[in-house]
Structure 1
């Protein structure tokens, strides 16, 4: 009893305090990772392959721990959310709002990438060799195999167990929607299943708290491996490319935060406080998927309705990748600039629309952004092997686009939740 009074009197939130400790631990791990990677690259070059391979295992362990709980968490929260909604009109309404946001945000992201790559023209001032393109062979082979059939295979599940085994989020979402709708029609007969899945989701979220404390080790491993492999010279060689891309990320963040402030007001800063740890983890590990469970936890703690979070967030992870969208336009036109291929504005706008459509078709495909870039380059007469020119710096660009994807999904979920809350308030006022 005294402990509760003590916390209340000092206005200390134990959960928030724990999040701050985790944030600090990740920052420290990030600094150690950069230092350790740099030390190996410059002082012990003969150890780079073995060091990079072994230290990267720390990141692999963390990612795999998170992947272990993504499928059950998506399934349980989404099914319970839909079943508790009861009203299928609400499911359709929330889905329509979510897709409208996702498509609009994607178009804005693509346009920002197109505008800035034309303005800065980094490909015209980056001195990199066009000779070595063998590293692109694997990606080109993956792209040649991509077709409408592959798209359908990544969207419509053949077996729910296969979808769970491979963490195909979009397939799990589709199965969960059907399961949740069917469950909601059972009435009281389905209450026990809903209760069971609801309690299961709470257990999984409890596991999230434990797994997140492995994040600092994952960050250290991922960053140390990347720096050991490429060293700091890569930043000098690609200085123009990186500066232009980071300017694009900054503009996109400004647009997202402005829209967020217009919709959420001063609560935007509270949301950012909640999202700071997921954003940092995504930045450090280059995986927005790795923070999905933590995002669910933080958005619900922010005050978002669990049923809105469980429905909107999984969709966002398949369709609302703002940072990746901007990168696709940017990288495609950068490769065209390197090869001195003139792209008139009307051709660029056509490319933008193609990217918009094809990016939605590779949800769940490994290295989706790079595959889409290769496919688009081939379509517009840009040498697809040019993707090899950006592979050395792709890891560091992926850090920026991953954290931007997290911000975009957090804002979209919070905004849709606010719209639904306002609608319910207006209905209650009208009925009164």
Structure 2
């Protein structure tokens, strides 16, 4: 039994145990409420430095130059923008927050409006250490990008002796990223405790009725993912790549369902590369899009972030303008790129987004009880994104070389 499967089973058991305690002994159940907050705080604390070191390491390690990387960036940004737009559109039309009203006390903020200019003001750090202290993801990523390219510029003009020292420094950056990731993996194993506390609290206060709302929330989130895969990816394959969907799925079924079963698009990567070989995609395109681009092809996480963010805001009755939603969408894309590859990456990324936008994260604890369903759909979708993105890039490269369809 894998660690991921064990964690899912513990989450389900924690959900049932918490609900039983909340129904049987409501007053006792409420004593466990702080557990959920503690776990989410730990996740946010470990994820923030991980994002900094992951972005910095990526800039220093992947010295990909030329038009190929630019093409990959364009492809991933188009797909990510469509994914987040679908998530926000469905959330605006169906208002999933109405099914999560029982979370209103957890999401309640000091204001009933989220203003674009207030959000922008929060992204301006007063010092270098403030983004780390405040868990502010956007200024942290900007700092990592700035430091990374400055490091590359300085490295380019060093003599062999000092160059060796800088390479040693890059090794320590990779080690720091690995340490933060390992720490986060340990903390993620505490999620069942958060689920137990949240389940106990909500059943003590509202009974079993909220779980119907959770089911409706899950169904709408999965609907958004299905729309993106059925229409966006299929349109790319049929209209641009010029490959039949039957041929694509002949080879794509194995990696996407394997990613679904193990809940990881990263673990499924060897099968993804084999499928791309069978589909005639060059290693030049597949290595860049599926391997180097593993931190970019996260449409499943991005759509989930946008949809859930707006659902939580709606549940509390907070108003969020379209301009604020657009800025939050950028936030979601950046956060997803920073935590890719770690367990429960969607939840970790959303925790950072909520914290960066000044929205309390406590309500996430109960949503974790059903996230194991959505998480597998995210892995399915991210692997699908790796496959389609590689095929788009391969076709674009061929067109640039004047090759026929």
Structure-2-length-normalised TM-score: 0.60
Listed as ranges, the matches of 1:96-245 within 5 Å are: 96-126=70-100, 128-129=102-103, 144=135, 147-148=140-141, 151=144, 158-160=169-171, 163=174, 236-245=212-221
**2:283 match:** 306
In structure 2, the CA distance between the partners of 1:148 and 1:242, relative to structure 1 (3 Å rule), is closer
After superposition, give the CA deviation of every residue in 1:314-353 in whole Å (9 maximum; x if it has no partner): 2321112111111110111111112221212222122112
1:142–1:371: 8 Å Cα contact kept in structure 2? Answer: no
* Contact preservation (8 Å) 2:96, 2:217: yes
Where 1:384 maps in the other structure, the secondary structure is coil
- 2:261 aligned to 284, 309, 312, which one? 284
Q: Which moved more, 1:301-310 or 1:377-386?
A: 377-386
Report the Cα distance in structure 2 between the residues aligned to 1:266 and 1:296, rounded to whole angstroms: 18
Is 1:251 the equivalent of 2:227?
yes
| Structure with greater helix percent | 1
What is the distance in 1 between the residues matched to 2:285 and 2:357? 40
Larger Rg: 1
Q: What is the root-mean-square deviation of aligned Cα atoms in Å? A: 4.4
Equivalent-residue separation in structure 1 for 2:307 and 2:133 (angstroms)? 21
> 1:354–1:127: structure 2 CA closer, same or farther, 3 Å change rule?
closer
Q: Quote how far apart the aligned CAs of 1:128 are.
A: 4.0
Tell me which residue corresponds to 1:186: none
Of 301, 323, 334, which residue of structure 1 is paired with 2:300? 323
Corresponding residue SS for 2:362: helix
Q: Residue 383 of structure 1 aligns with which residue?
A: 360
Q: Which residue of 1 aligns with 2:323?
A: 346
1:274 aligned residue: 251
Does the C-alpha gap of structure 1 residues 284 and 166 become closer, same or farther in structure 2, counting only changes over 3 Å? farther
Higher relative contact order (CA 8 A, sep 6+): 2
Change (3 A) 1:142 1:326: farther
Query: CA 1:127–1:335 in structure 2 vs 1: closer, same or farther (change >3 Å)?
Result: closer
Cα distance 1:246–1:149, how it changes in 2: closer, same or farther (>3 A)? closer
Alignment coverage as a number of residue pairs: 292
Give 1:426 shift. 4.5
